[in-house]
Structure 1
């Protein structure tokens, strides 16, 4: 019978330990609400003893998110009375609160960090659990640096705190030292002893990613009896981060033949959660990051695109819809093949090309792709129209669409503290338009000027800058997400001038809106020589 794996999310505690990722109270509550929607079983909301602000945030999460019994709210304490009191006073407002405490068990921690004997540390842990149990029924005990601990001392500690009343035992690979096979064996031995002592106590793991094995170690622990996993969204956390929640969950779901377990996670909320965490913490997700990276479901290789269009299973083991995306993304680049280009043209209404015509259009596509890196739908309209003009053939479209798209001709941006302003020159067909605007900052001014010129108003939802290369001539990539009439549009652009890249991304997204306005009007086009 398939068993349940509890998901303990520590994005708001371990994840927040990333330099520069500090969240305010409002942001913590918003992320916690989304984590609840995602379906995590336990939220670790912070470290309340660290500051008054964190105490208030944990308390707010307990009150506003933990107001139902279907989710447990906890926070971290060291094994000292003051920390335990702080956690209790913050989480007690939740319907289902828990105290989580941590104390080292490795020789390095016992001897060098605490300068105490092993027996003294063990007794401190037992006393802390006994005290916490007078406050709340649910208490988790974490044996810090377990992966570098002497096994018998580790077990002696776990046995003692279980007898003292701990209801969950968490075994952390605190510095990412573990290796899946050895880690799995350790968890197997602990699980065997714990179940014989008290099978109601959950065994949990908390794996760090210093050697890139956090997800693998977490999955090895599950195979060997772990009941609960501690993860973070996007794998963020101290140093190299933690096991990524989305990777662990989707691995369990996709490889059910191996693990035979289930979680309560609503996987369709994974991308929404990832984007919210990334936005609030100001931490970009690595583009090739599994599950939540921009390229996780994007395909640009012609061989891959051809295989996917023939059968999704050829190169897709996780469906993008399962994690909350609309569909896979076929990115048209110079590496794209004829099948992908023909499929994209077909979706725009261009079908049944003669072989000679398609080859001419494909040649135009490759020329543009070599210079532009990525080809958008509005570019395809222009490519088709240019082909018929060059070949001096009749365009089968009754209307010329290429003159409806916008092209950036020039821009000037002035950035200062008083009046940030921008001027743009934009071409549409044969017409040239100019506009200037001021804004709260240079990007706001630039986008206001473009909106005034194009006459298409959008709501900017997300704006991201990332570096594509290094050095003085480094390319900067800008990705934006906007909303127009209830629909979301995403576009990106790259340039050595980040302001120009910002403008190009905005123009690309405006042209995507124009394409969306054209498409419903298009009928199937029968193209003949």
Structure 2
């Protein structure tokens, strides 16, 4: 029998506590609207007592996102009346508001953080819940640092606040101290007692990732009776972060026979949500991050590519389409095998090559891959053209000069200042050398405007990211961009010691990909 697991997203509260990740009101509202599309059950919109700005953001989210009964809006309060007032006055505009109260239960928190006795802290918690219940029927109580708490005191606290009216009990592994087996055992014991006390109260968990076990602990809790999980997008949050929503949800989906549970999450919105949070908060997702990392569905190993082309399930347990991507990505590099390169050539129409012809073309591919790191479709066209020209071989596609369609960077000059940022570009297309200059709001905008003028394509830049791939004076900078053309999205990358040159190369790679799809392939 499967049961529903409630998904509580705290990206806008715990996630926003990452240094430098603060969002303004409009950005928080945009993320909240996307979380609603993702179909989370509860959004924790902030900590309204912390500032006027956060109070207003929570209020706006409650009003504009919580205006339907399919989502609950909450915010965090310490166990003091002023905080509870702030939460109530900001979330009350939602159709389904919730007050969330947090108070520590471990000896470390009780004695060292609060300097009070256990009975005093328990009474404070009970009074806070009773006060919150005068405003709203739904109150969540979080026993902070539960995983390091004395079990009987933890249970005494839970029992008391449930009798005081708490409708959700949250058990946090606040500092990521727990390990899956012991955390699962803790949840099993608490769930057994809680369901005997009041089977209408939800049991929730909130796991941190200090030892890299947040997702594992959360999943262990689900197996042992937890009704609700608290997560963040991309696993962001205090210190090492929280359990990643996308990891927990997809683990439940793929291993449904193990967890016997489901969520309401629309998994096809996972990538859109990840990219929005990453972009607005300025927090890059590590490339090998499960589910949402750039390489999560990219395959460059020849052995893996060969296996995937024979059977998708050889190296792929999740279809990229399930999380909102187009499909798996076979990245052509020097590590790619013959099968992957032949498959890529066949997709471009070169499906009648003899073994000898392919061997020579594959040799040229490896030479280029060693020099360029990643090979694109337009590179393959040029490799084939060079081979045909060298050996005077006619081709049945009636295209004799592929390279005439592609753009190649010859030189650039960029002037960066606060008054008049400008760029000049020199590009080769076939036998023609084209030049253009443009001004922009900044150096990259000017550079891309100049390139767009030459290409004469109506391209919209959606995403621009810079990262370092080496250190020292000759450090390589990697630029990754996403552009849109005729409602289709293209991702391109380039690496160079000159970040402006890398930016230009990435943009030209994107344009050449568009040329392949819209000019050459339709001929």
- Which range moves more in the overlay, 455-464 or 304-313? 455-464
Q: Which runs of 5+ in 2 are unaligned?
A: none
Counterpart Cα distance in 2 of 1:182 and 1:318: 29
Contact 1:348-1:519 at 8 Å conserved across structures: no
CA-CA distance at 1:375 after TM superposition: 0.3
After TM superposition, list the pairs within 5 Å mapping 1:276-291 onto structure 2.
276-291=276-291
In structure 1, the partner of 2:427 is 426
Q: Is 2:508 aligned against 1:500?
A: no
1:441 is aligned to 442
Report SS of the residue matched to 2:490. Answer: strand
Q: Displacement, 1:489?
A: 1.1
After TM superposition, the structure 1 = structure 2 runs for residues 479-490 of structure 1, keeping only pairs within 5 Å, are: 479-490=480-491
Per-residue CA shift, 1:406-458, capped at 9, x if unaligned? Answer: 00011111111111111111001111111111111110111111112222231
Q: Please give the TM-score of this superposition, normalised by the length of structure 1.
A: 0.98
CA distance in 2, matches of 1:298, 1:122: 51
Cα deviations by residue, 1:205-226 (Å, 9 ceiling, x for unpaired): 0000111100000001001110
Q: SS of 2:93's equivalent? A: coil
CA contact (8 A) 1:58 1:91 kept: yes
Confirm or deny that 1:113 pairs with 2:113.
Answer: yes
Q: CA deviation at 1:284?
A: 1.0
Query: In the aligned structure 1, how far is the partner of 2:229 from the partner of 2:281?
Result: 23
Q: Structure 1 residue runs of 4+, over 6 Å off?
A: none
In structure 2, the partner of 1:526 is none
> For the residues of structure 1 that align with 2:360 and 2:519, how far apart are their CA atoms?
24
Which deviations, in whole Å up to 9, do the C-alpha atoms of 1:182-222 show, x marking residues without a partner? 11111111111111111110000000011110000000100
8 Å Cα contact 1:141/1:166 also seen in 2: yes
Gaps of 5+ in 1: 523-529
Per the alignment, residue 452 of structure 1 pairs with 453
Deviations 1:61-113 (A, max 9, x none): 00001011111000000000000000000000000000001000111111111
Q: Is the counterpart of residue 341 in structure 1 residue 341 in structure 2?
A: yes
1:67-466 aligned within 5 A: 67-399=67-399, 400-466=401-467
- Aligned 8 A contact 1:478 1:493 in 2: yes
For the pair 1:34 / 2:27, whether they are aligned, the reply is no
Asked if structure 2 preserves the Cα contact closer than 8 Å seen for 1:385 and 1:395, the reply is: no
In structure 2, C-alpha distance between the alignment counterparts of 1:197 and 1:498, rounded to whole Å: 62
CA distance in 2: counterparts of 1:93 and 1:372, whole angstroms: 56
Quote the Cα distance in structure 1 between the aligned partners of 2:520 and 2:296: 27
Could you tell me how far apart the structure 1 residues matched to 2:353 and 2:78 are? 70
Determine if contact 1:414/1:422 at 8 Å carries over to the other structure.
yes
Contact kept? 2:348, 2:521, Cα under 8 Å: no
* 1:142 aligned counterpart, secondary structure: strand
How many aligned positions are there? 522
Residue 519 of structure 1: how far off its partner (Å):
4.5
**Is the Cα contact below 8 Å between 1:147 and 1:178 reproduced in 2?**
yes
CA contact (8 A) 2:145 2:175 kept: yes
CA offset at residue 460 of structure 1?
0.7
The CA deviation at 1:520 is: 4.2
Measured on the aligned residues, the alpha-carbon RMSD in Å equals 0.9
Provide the TM-score with structure 2 as the length reference. Answer: 0.99
